[in-house]
Structure 1
Amino acid sequence: MTTTKKFLRLPAVIEATGWSRATIWRKVKAGVLPAPIPIGPKSIAWDAEEIAQWQQRCIDASRGVG
C-alpha cells in the first residue's frame, strides 16, 4: 500500500525552522537540513516527514538522547 506524502513549500519550512530563507539554503548546502525535492519545472518542496525527523534529531540532541 502506498502512503501519501505531504510536501512543504519554503514558507512552511521557514515557519518550521524559524530560519530565514538564506539560512535555510545555507543549511541545505551544508547538509544540515534535508534537500528539497523538485515537484515541477520551477517548483520545489521538502518532504514533511524528513523535516519532522530533522526536528526530532534536533530535540534529541539538545536533550542528550541517543
Structure 2
Amino acid sequence: MTLVNIVVILVVVGLVMWLINSYIPMAAAIKSLLNIVVFVVVLIWILQTFGLIGAIPGLKMPALK
C-alpha cells in the first residue's frame, strides 16, 4: 500500500464524516460517539498499516491491496 493510497483513504473517510456530521441530524452524544469510534478504528488501521502494532486478536481489519 502506497502513501498516496493511505492519504486518499483518509481524505475519503474525513469527507464522509464531515458529510454525516453536517447533513444528518442526530443527537450530539451519538455524533460524538460516532466520531470517536471512527477515529479509533482509523488510528488502529494506520498503526497496523505502518507496522507499529501487530494484529489484535479477535479484531478483523480488512487489508486493502
TM-score range, shorter chain: 0.3 to 0.5
Q: Say which one has the larger Rg.
A: 2
More strand by share: 1
> Could you state the TM-score of these two structures normalised by the residue count of structure 1?
0.34
> Could you state the TM-score of these two structures normalised by the residue count of structure 2?
0.35
More helix by share: 2
